[in-house]
Amino acid sequence: MISVEEALARILAEITQLPLAQVPLADTLGLVLAEDSVAQEDMPPFANSAMDGFALLSRDSQPRDGQPPRLQVIGSVAAGYVAEQDVREGTTMRIMTGAPVPPGADTVIQVELTRSEGPASDTVEILETVPPGNNIRPAGEDMQRGQTILTRGTEIGPWEIGVLATLGMATVPTIRRPHVAILGTGDEVIDVDQPLRPGKIRNSNSYLLEAAVQKAGAVPHRLGIAHDTVESLREKFSEAVQYDLIITSGGVSVGDFDLVKNIMAEQGQINFWRINMRPGKPVAFGHIGGVPLLGLPGNPVSAAVTFELFGRPVIRKMLGHARLLRPQVEVIVEDGVSDRAMRRHYVRARVAWRDGHFIAHTTGNQGSNITTSLLGANAFVIVPEGGITIAPGGTAQAMMLDWPEV
C-alpha cells in the first residue's frame, strides 16, 4: 500500500498536458491560454473623452477680466462617431464619454463645470480653468500595439475574456478540454430511472463523477454500467479507450467479481493498486490502450473523495493548469474525530471562519457508504496515519474543497 503523496506523484508523472485547440472566445472560461496574446492595435485605438462635457482649447478656459469665458458651441460628437469639423479658438464642441476628441481640441471639461441654457444652447460658459489633456484618454493608454497582454499558461476567467474580446480574439488558442469516459461497474447497479428490485441499487457514482469531471473543466462521457464479467468489461473498455482519461468506479477491491484490475493487466498495465487512506483504499491506476485509467472504489463516498484527491488534479494537469492541488489550512475540529483509523483519514466537514479561526464540523457518520456525509461538506479534515483521534476542539489540517487550487 502506498501513501497518498506517492500515489499522486505516480499518477501525475504519467499525465501530460493536452494539445492546443482554437476555441471560440465564449467557450474559453476556465481554460488555459496556450500562446501569448499580443495586442495588434493600440487600446484605446483613438484619444477619447473620459467625461460628458465640452472639448476645447485649454487656453480658452482661462477667465477673461475675471469672468468665465463664453465659447461658441459648434457641434456635438457622440460615442461611435467622429467630429466633422475642427475646434478652433473661441469655439467648443459637446462631447460624450468614449467619443473621439475632435481635431484642434486639446482638453475636455466636464459638463458639471460649465453653464449653458440647455442642450440646444449655442454658447457655453466655462467655469474652471482646465489644463491640456484634461479628461482625455490617450490612444494606447491601456494597451500598446505589439505589447504582450496575456502570457501562455494564464487561466482564462471572466476578466481575461473581456481583455481577449478587446484584443479582437474571436477564437483563442487554449489547451483543449480532456474528454473523460465514466464507467460504472457491478451487477447490482441499475440506472436512476429504474425502480429498485431485490438486491439492486441505483448508479449514483456515474452521475456524481460526471458532475465532478465537468466541474474540474473536462467533458464527461457516461458509458453506463459494465456487468461483473470479463466480457462486459472488455466491451465497455473498447469504447472507453477513445477518450483522454477513463474513470471507473467499483470492481477494484478483492472480491471474486472485482475484475477491473484483470482487464487493466490484460490490455494495459497496472501502475499501482491500493492507497493507505480511508475512505478509498482500493484505488487502482494504470493504462489501457495508452489511455490513463483511474479505477476508483465503488463505495460512493470513496469514489467522491478519491476523485477530489486524484481525479481532479489529473484533469487540471491535462488542461495545462500550473496549480493542481486544493489548499490546506489549520482548523479547529469542534466536534473532534473519535474513530481510530490506522490509515490516513479524510473526514468530510463543514469549515467556516468564526472569531478569527477556521472551525470545522464533521458531517456525521463517516462510513464510506453514507452518501449524506458528503452533503454540506466543503472540506476534508485530514487525520494522519497511525490511529490518531482528534479531541473536540483539537486542531488538524483541512483540505479546502471550495478554495481555488494553489
> DSSP assignment, residue 15?
-
Instruction: Determine if 249 is a binding residue for ligand AMP (CB under 6 A).
Output: yes
Instruction: Determine if 186 is a binding residue for Mg ion (CB under 5 A).
Output: yes
299 binds, among Mg ion, ligand AMP, none (CB under 5 to 8 A by kind): ligand AMP
Instruction: Determine if 297 is a binding residue for ligand AMP (CB under 6 A).
Output: yes
- Give the Cα separation of 350 and 372 in Å (integer): 13
Contacts of 29 (CB under 8 A, 6+ apart): 156, 157, 158, 161
- Give the Cα separation of 234 and 40 in Å (integer): 52
Nearest distance from C-beta of residue 143 to ligand AMP, angstroms: 50
What are 104's three cell numbers?
484642434
Range 212-216 contact pairs with CB under 8 angstroms and sequence separation of 24 or more: 212/304, 212/307, 212/308, 212/311, 212/312, 213/180, 213/182, 213/247, 213/307, 213/311, 213/315, 216/311, 216/312, 216/315, 216/316
Instruction: Determine if 187 is a binding residue for ligand AMP (CB under 6 A).
Output: no
- Give the Cα separation of 112 and 68 in Å (integer): 14
- Nearest residue to 296 (alpha-carbon basis) of 269, 274, 314: 274
Cis peptide before 44 (omega within 30 of 0): yes
206 binds, among ligand AMP, Mg ion, none (CB under 5 to 8 A by kind): ligand AMP
Amino acid at 313: P
**Closest CB to ligand AMP among 300 and 320?**
300
Contacts of 112 (CB under 8 A, 6+ apart): none
Nearest distance from C-beta of residue 243 to Mg ion, angstroms: 22
Stretch that binds ligand AMP, among 14-22, 164-172, 291-299, 374-382 (CB under 6 A): 291-299
Instruction: Determine if 184 is a binding residue for Mg ion (CB under 5 A).
Output: no
Instruction: Determine if 186 is a binding residue for ligand AMP (CB under 6 A).
Output: yes
- List the interface residues with Mg ion, window 271-330 (CB under 5 A): 298
Classify burial at 197, counting beta carbons within 10 Å of its beta carbon; exposed 0-12, middle 13-18, buried 19 or more: exposed
- Give the Cα separation of 263 and 270 in Å (integer): 10
- Give the Cα separation of 177 and 20 in Å (integer): 9
Instruction: Determine if 69 is a binding residue for Mg ion (CB under 5 A).
Output: no
For β-strands 107-110 and 328-333, DSSP reports them as: unpaired
Nearest distance from C-beta of residue 202 to ligand AMP, angstroms: 7
Stretch that binds Mg ion, among 26-34, 82-90, 180-188, 284-292 (CB under 5 A): 180-188
Instruction: Determine if 253 is a binding residue for ligand AMP (CB under 6 A).
Output: yes
Instruction: Determine if 189 is a binding residue for ligand AMP (CB under 6 A).
Output: yes
- Pick the binder of Mg ion from 53, 250, 282, 297 (CB under 5 A): 250
Instruction: Determine if 203 is a binding residue for ligand AMP (CB under 6 A).
Output: yes
Instruction: Determine if 251 is a binding residue for ligand AMP (CB under 6 A).
Output: yes
- Nearest residue to 380 (alpha-carbon basis) of 394, 358, 360, 365: 360
Element (DSSP H or E) covering residue 163: helix 158-166
- Pick the binder of ligand AMP from 69, 279, 300, 313 (CB under 6 A): 300
253 binds, among Mg ion, ligand AMP, none (CB under 5 to 8 A by kind): ligand AMP
- List the interface residues with Mg ion, window 107-146 (CB under 5 A): none
189 binds, among Mg ion, ligand AMP, none (CB under 5 to 8 A by kind): ligand AMP
Nearest distance from C-beta of residue 327 to Mg ion, angstroms: 34
Tell me how crowded residue 389 is: count the other CB atoms within 10 A of its CB: 13
Instruction: Determine if 204 is a binding residue for ligand AMP (CB under 6 A).
Output: yes
Amino acid at 263: I
| Cell 465503488, residue located | 298
Which residues, listed in sequence order, are joined to residue 389 by a DSSP beta bridge? none
184 binds, among Mg ion, ligand AMP, none (CB under 5 to 8 A by kind): ligand AMP
**Closest CB to ligand AMP among 210 and 335?**
210
Nearest distance from C-beta of residue 306 to Mg ion, angstroms: 15
Instruction: Determine if 299 is a binding residue for ligand AMP (CB under 6 A).
Output: yes
- Pick the binder of ligand AMP from 41, 125, 187, 188 (CB under 6 A): 188
53 binds, among Mg ion, ligand AMP, none (CB under 5 to 8 A by kind): none
Nearest distance from C-beta of residue 163 to ligand AMP, angstroms: 42
Residues that bind ligand AMP in the complex, under the rule CB under 6 A: 184-186, 188-189, 201, 203-206, 249-251, 253, 255, 258, 297-300
Residues that bind Mg ion in the complex, under the rule CB under 5 A: 186, 250-251, 298
